[in-house]
């Protein structure tokens, strides 16, 4: 996966690396300068990394004195969403989701947050936080809240990005629902229903543990969060809860859709068998009559009747037509 590196950062793996004070970007810096800047009161270093090399991570670690275990985790993807506190620093793992070619592409973001710095490390498919950065730079009042606000903005952005995924799945499910009930369900749609169920399980695994993360941030049992920021994190928690509820709803709906399609397929089977039975009955009569008058007995009086043939034909037709309408009335045809 390629990454378009924005901002002044020119090093591979570094998406952006700037220092903010009073809500304004005051410098684009290198990793090695970051430690010095963050020690100045009121200054926040915000560094964005994308799939960094172990070497780059080690250089970052030295600047901010991060815990080795957290750095170890940050170097590899496939973590469960979690929040861990090492001394005065927070380490947060979140999973991101995007819809790519009809499948959910998952990515991971690892965040280090401490007094005077926010470091985001992205792995895999995930939207760049350049959008968040630009948005924050455009409202200095918000940004002047410092690292807590940046953390909030990133988490909010991650959670916001789940919504389009759910909307796309929802739209697709509605399409399949229609095809179930107008009896045009194809094997491909069942396959798709199945895939969506699988994807939703993975999505729930990605979003579910994030609720714990947000709740812990909200309840201020972790160190560096400013009390006035807590309602913001409560908002994110609410948002995650809503996302989770939607995932669970969709999962239930998909299960219902599966059951409904089994039901409808079975009703169709009944319809077909009824039709088969009806036509077999309708066609049996002329077959039998024709068979009877095809026998070679010497003495078969009807055969010599002038109109025998026509009477027989008319009889066959009459019985068949009669049966046909009888089956129609039974709704077998």
Q: Which of 280, 314, 318, 321 binds its own copies (CB under 8 A)?
A: 280
DSSP 152-206: HHHHHHHHHTHHHHHHHHHHHHHHHHHHHHTT---HHHHHHHHHHHHHHHHHHHH
Q: Which of 286, 319, 326, 333 binds its own copies (CB under 8 A)?
A: 286
Q: Which of 293, 314, 322, 328 binds its own copies (CB under 8 A)?
A: 293
Q: Which of 139, 265, 314, 328 binds its own copies (CB under 8 A)?
A: 265
Q: Which of 36, 267, 314, 321 binds its own copies (CB under 8 A)?
A: 267
Q: Report if residue 115 touches its own copies, rule: CB under 8 A.
A: no
Which residues have CB under 8 Å from 82's CB, separation 6+?
92, 93, 209, 212, 213
Q: Report if residue 241 touches its own copies, rule: CB under 8 A.
A: yes
Closest to 200 (Cα-Cα) out of 238, 178, 168: 168
Segment near its own copies (CB under 8 A); pick from 8-16, 101-109, 211-219, 242-250: 242-250
Minimal distance, residue 18 CB to its own copies, in Å: 28
Q: Report if residue 131 touches its own copies, rule: CB under 8 A.
A: no
Q: Report if residue 8 touches its own copies, rule: CB under 8 A.
A: no
From residue 48 to residue 77, what is the string marking binding to its own copies with x (rule CB under 8 A)? -------------------x-x---x----
Structure tokens at 300: 């078969």
Could you count the other beta carbons within 10 Å of the beta carbon of residue 178? 11
DSSP 271-316: HHHHHHHHHHHHHHHHHHHHHHHT---S--HHHHSTTHHHHHHHHH
Q: How many residues bind its own copies (CB under 8 A)?
A: 85
């Amino acid at each position: 996966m390629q990454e378009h590196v924005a901002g002044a950062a020119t090093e591979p793996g570094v998406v952006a690396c700037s220092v903010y004070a009073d809500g304004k970007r005051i410098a684009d810096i290198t990793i090695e300068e970051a430690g010095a800047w963050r020690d100045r009161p009121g200054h926040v270093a915000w560094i964005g990394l994308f799939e960094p090399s172990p070497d780059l991570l080690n250089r970052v670690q030295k600047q901010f004195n991060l815990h080795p275990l957290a750095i170890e985790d940050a170097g590899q993807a496939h973590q469960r969403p979690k929040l861990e506190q090492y001394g005065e620093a927070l380490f947060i793992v979140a999973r991101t989701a995007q819809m790519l070619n009809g499948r959910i592409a998952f990515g991971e973001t690892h965040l280090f947050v401490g007094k005077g710095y926010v470091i985001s490390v992205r792995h895999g498919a995930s939207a760049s936080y350049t959008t968040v950065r630009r948005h924050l730079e455009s409202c200095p009042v918000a940004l002047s809240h410092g690292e807590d606000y940046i953390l909030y903005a990133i988490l909010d952005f991650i959670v916001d990005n789940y919504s389009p995924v759910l909307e796309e799945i929802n739209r697709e499910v509605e399409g399949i629902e229609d095809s179930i009930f107008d009896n045009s369900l194809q094997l491909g749609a069942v396959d798709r229903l199945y895939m969506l169920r699988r994807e939703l399980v993975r999505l729930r695994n990605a979003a579910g543990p994030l609720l714990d993360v947000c709740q812990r941030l909200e309840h201020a049992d972790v160190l560096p969060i400013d009390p006035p920021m807590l309602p913001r994190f409560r908002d994110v928690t609410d948002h995650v809860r809503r996302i989770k509820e939607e995932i669970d709803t969709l999962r239930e709906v998909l299960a219902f859709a599966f059951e409904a399609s089994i039901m409808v397929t079975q009703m169709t089977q009944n319809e077909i068998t009824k039709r088969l039975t009806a036509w077999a009955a309708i066609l049996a009569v002329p077959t039998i009559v024709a068979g009877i008058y095809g026998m070679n007995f010497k003495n078969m009086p009807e055969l010599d009747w002038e109109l025998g043939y026509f009477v027989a034909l008319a009889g066959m037709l009459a019985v068949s037509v009669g049966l046909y309408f009888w089956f129609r009335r039974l709704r077998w045809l």
